[in-house]
Amino acid sequence: MEIQGVGAVVTGGASGLGEATARALAARGAQVAILDLGRSKGAEVAAALGGGAFFAEADVADEAAVGAALERAAQRFGGLHVCVNCAGIGSAMRTVDKDGKPFDLRVFRKTIEVNLIGTFNVLRLAASHMTKNAPNQGGERGVVVNTASAAAFDGQIGQAAYSASKAGVVGMTLPIARDLAKLGIRVVTIAPGLFETPLLMTMPEPARQALAATIPFPSRLGRPSEFASLAVEIVGNAMLNGETIRLDGAVRMPPR
């Protein structure tokens, strides 16, 4: 799909992987809506993008808020063609800790709600808008890019909730791509490894260097621009569909 002139929405677009993707899409001529929480710098990022970009405050698991934001984007852009789901949260807790205390079910539920249900919520509503688009010469009406994680495959100690949520994103990719195939909508998931995200960058430099050393090649943390580059390629490459692509420098996470 040609990116120039299309309407795109990026969740979690106020920082990290989402911000880099929003900037990459805008640089190629897309009109971009950034969906993120009110406390984010979404308005600032949207203003920097220009080109009609705007910020919409929304929790991705909130059906009404997401629905309103996507309706606004579709009307403002003359249609919605690209959706990139980057919004997500992390959690770290053992199933049972050293004192015998079980995992807080509220934390598990919240992680699933944001990372898995939130992704599906945005995807299904965005896809509904995409069905209204006239197909291009290749029959495409839209493209959805989801974000999973290497933790979906190599979850570490304490990552039960996070890994489950991201494995769910991986697991639903193919069936949703099959669901939407006849409508001309592609669905692809990126599973990044260790990247320079705001959360990781709060770690001390020696800790970041130690993590980078575990990556076979290149032995460094991934850059948000590299995630964005793959997302842009997915949008432009019509044969990419129903797949989860690991973007991790061949890292396989150890237990801890």
Q: Is the pLDDT of residue 202 over 80?
A: no
Max Cα–Cα distance, the chain, nearest Å: 61
C-alpha 8/C-alpha 13 separation (Å) is 11
C-alpha 245/C-alpha 187 separation (Å) is 12
Report the 10 Å Cβ neighbour count for 23.
Answer: 20
pLDDT in tens, 90-123: 989 999 999 999 999 999 999 999 999 999 999 9
69 is catalytic: no
C-alpha 175/C-alpha 171 separation (Å) is 8
Chain centre distance of CA 49 = 19
* Tokens coding 227: 């995630």
Helix 118-130 vs helix 63-77: crossing angle, to nearest 10: 30
* Tokens coding 152: 């979906």
> Cβ(114)–Cβ(88) under 8 Å?
yes
From 168, 177, 166, 151, select the one nearest 234 (Cα to Cα).
Answer: 177
CATH of domain 7-194+225-246: 3.40.50.720
Catalytic residue of the set 55, 108, 162, 227:
162
Torsion (CA) 169, 6, 51, 20 in degrees, nearest 10: 30
> Cβ(180)–Cβ(138) under 8 Å?
no
User: Percentage of the chain with pLDDT > 90?
Assistant: 89
Q: List helix spans (H) across the chain.
A: 16-27, 42-49, 63-77, 105-112, 118-130, 151-154, 160-180, 205-213, 224-236
Q: Locate the domains of the chain by residue range.
A: 7-194+225-246
Q: Is the pLDDT of residue 199 over 80?
A: no
pLDDT in tens, 116-133: 999 999 999 999 999 999
Residue, of 50 and 235, whose pLDDT is higher: 235
Distances (CA, A) of 12 to 97, 102, 106: 31, 30, 22
Parallel, antiparallel or unpaired: strands 82-85 and 244-247: unpaired
Model confidence at 253, in pLDDT bands (50, 70, 90)? confident
pLDDT in tens, 135-170: 999 999 999 999 999 999 999 999 999 999 999 999
- Coil, strand or helix: which one is 244? strand
What mean pLDDT is predicted for residues 71-81? 97
3-state secondary structure 119-180: HHHHHHHHHHHHCCCCCCCCCCCEEEEEECCCHHHHCCCCCHHHHHHHHHHHHHHHHHHHHH
Helix, strand counts (H, E) of the chain: 9, 7
